[in-house]
Structure formats: structure tokens, C-alpha cells
Homo-oligomer: A and B are copies of this chain.
């Protein structure tokens, strides 16, 4: 409220650069009067804005537009719509087998054990279990070290996430219904760009994540080809390659092309799922943070104005609803968050341990550093996106601090006290909350570990041919 006129004075001053004190006094007088009038007409202003918008929207919808823009205009801005294609891609990789993810309304969502996608998912889970068993058998026959259990950790995480995502798929229709109910209650978006925003962020996250993951997989294949040539166990280069990348299979069975293809597919799918679980946490975080932002945008528009208690009461209930949504989603995905975080932490530590050793070849070095940077970047991205939910939920308080004295009422008080005392954030099974402070403490832990490692480093030759190659 107070800053708008001030900014204008500031701008005017920049232009004129000189003004007599008398003029300034008069200005101030004028300002204060204008301000009073302004405050009285706040409510009127709000109505007018909403009226204008309502009149404008049907007109806008009639205009013929080019495809991509038109698609944007058909958007309702719901999370269900935004997340549809992302889930569709996940379903190709045997995750989240829910029917109707791309439909317009969440009411079409359905889960059934008899759908093809569910069966596909079950088959992959079975296949993962076999792979995990083979890895376990191989690892337990050698002495166990921090480095050698890498394949087990990797495959166990994949298996757990797959099973858990099947479970989540069953609850998904209900969750989306609930989300939809809360979304319909929130203050309306004013422009199509705002509506489009969340969906755009979600899709870009998915796209960039997938591209990088694909690039990493290609590099890993290149490096594996190189590696298998270096310590070759067989004359056939292709056989050689598979003997390395799926050593857990051929530790038990003799080489066969069918098994090699199965191993390859399993690896490809595992890599996708390994990346997808991080992306999934990011997407949910973006969804939740966007809902808080939608509320905050509304509060920002009326910041410092004299609003009625009913306005505040409505906002408080909306805030409470998003909090409850946050809590519900956290309960639903916190296991995945937990697995994703501990997995990332473990892999960063192992990779840093390996980084101290000499690389066998340039291809390895390139792949290794790309994969390390990708890993750290991904972990940071998950952390920051999920901390965004907490940050955005605290931001609301800033607008409440600017409520003028005249419209300070019991409702605003209750609202601000609730925000100040509540902890709204995604969590890892309630053991830790995902905030920016967590990022620091995790980074601190890794740096300390790395420092100790560097200080007492001896070359342990972790790149010997005996070691499992593909994670």
C-alpha cells in the first residue's frame, strides 16, 4: 500500500531532479488524501478486477489461436492435467499403472489389477526381484565393502520404489480427486500464462531430467565398451560387453543372447526408474509449491489494502487446505523421498571415494565426471525443489505482516499465528523435513567425509576387472 505512491514519487524525482520544498509538502498532502480514497475503494477495486476478468475470459476463449497457444488456453491449470503426460511416460517404464492419466478430469482415473499396464508393472517387479537375487548371490560370495555393495543398494532401491509406486498407483485416483477439490477452491488465475506456468515447469523438469539421464546412459555404454575391451574375458566384443555390464547374471548362468537382452532391458529400465524417482519428487514439490504460490499471488495483489475479515477467513481456509494436501501427499510419497535421498547420498559418497583413484581411460574419466556432476546436480535439484514447498509456505507470512492496523482482526491474527507455528514441508518419513537448512547440513556432511578421505587417502584400486561394472 505504502510503497506504490512512494515508488511513483521516486520515479518522478528521477525525471524532474529538482522540486521546491513547498511543492513537496503539497505532494505529500495530496498523497495522503489519495491514499485514503484508495483504501476506501479497495473492496470496489477487487470486485472491479474480478468483473473485468470474468467479462474478458469468454471473449478470449472465442479467439482462434495457433496450436501451441491454443493448447495453453484450453488449460485449466490443474495439477492433474499438468502431470498427465509425465505419468504416461512413466507407464511405458512400468511405473504408476493408473488408467486415465491424460483425461481432462481426475474423475476418469482408475486403477485395476486387470489392466495391461498393471500386469506390465508386475512382470517388471518380478524381473527386478530375480535380478536383485542374482546380485545378492554374487556380492555375498565376496568380502563386503562399502564399494562392493553398490549393485545391491541400486537394485534394492529400484525394487522397493517399483513396489511402492504400484501401491501409490492404487491410491492415486483418490489423491487426485482430493487435489482437484482443493484446487477448485483456490483463488482463480488471472491470466492464461499463470495457468500454463506450473504445467510448463513440470514438463521442462521431466524433459531435462530425461535427456540428461539418456545422455548419461549413452556415455555409460561407451565407457563400458571401452572397459570391456580393456579387460576382455571373451573374444566376441558384444559378449564381452554384456559379460561386464551384467556380471551378476553371468556369474551364475552361462552366456546366452536371450539373457543378455534381458539384462540390457533390465539395466535400461532400472536407469530410467533410478532417475524417475527423483524427478517424481520434484514434480510433486512443484505442484504443491505452485498451489501456495497461487494463494500468495492473490495476497500480493491486495497487499497492504484494507480487506474484510471474510477475505482473510477465506484465505486462511484455503491455506489450511493446501497444508492438508501437503500432508496427504507427504504421507503418500515420503517413502520414495526417503529412498531417493539416502540413495543419492550413498552414491555421491561412493563416487567421491572413486574419484580419488586413477581412471583406467579417458572414456572412463569423461563418463565418470559427467555422471558425478549429474548426480550432484540432480540431488541438489531435488533438495531445492522440495525445499521450495517450505519456502513458499512461509512467504505467506510476509503479506500478513503488511496488513494495515485498521483491518487487523482475529482472523488475520489466527492466520499469521498458524503459519508462524506450523512446519509445512515435505519430509523423509517425518525423520527429516526438506528445507534449505537440510541442504547445507547434507553438503557439510559430504564435504567433511571427503576431507577425511583426502587426508588419509590410499589408492585402493577400485577399478579392477573383478568389480561389478554397471553400478
Interface of A with B (CB < 8 Å)? 2, 6, 10, 13-14, 17, 107-108, 145-146, 177-178, 181, 313, 317, 320, 323, 349, 391, 397, 401-402, 405, 408, 410-411, 413-414, 416-418, 420-422, 430-432, 436-437, 439-440, 444-445, 448-449, 451-456
Contacts and interface: CB of A to CB of B under 8 A. Distances in A.
A436 B429 CA distance: 9
A37 to B, nearest CB: 20
Nearest to A440: B431
Contacts of A456: 455-456
Contacts of A13: 107, 177
B391 A430 contact: yes
A147 to B, nearest CB: 9
B401 A408 contact: no
A10 B180 CA distance: 10
A413 B413 CA distance: 10
Number of copies: 4
A303 to B, nearest CB: 11
A414 B402 CA distance: 12
A385 B426 CA distance: 22
Given A320-B402, A408-B410, A430 B421 contact: no
Contacts of A420: 417, 421
**3 closest A-B pairs (Cβ-Cβ)?**
A420-B421, A431-B440, A10-B177
A35 to B, nearest CB: 13
A155 to B, nearest CB: 21
A284 B345 CA distance: 36
A231 to B, nearest CB: 24
A449 B451 contact: yes
A155 B439 CA distance: 26
A146 B454 contact: yes
Contacts of A453: 455
A345 to B, nearest CB: 9
Nearest to A443: B431
A310 to B, nearest CB: 9
Given A408-B410, A432-B437, A452 B452 contact: yes
A298 to B, nearest CB: 19
A323 B145 CA distance: 47
A363 B10 CA distance: 56
B145 A454 contact: yes
8 contacts: A17-B107, A146-B451, A146-B454, A313-B405, A397-B422, A401-B422, A408-B414, A448-B449
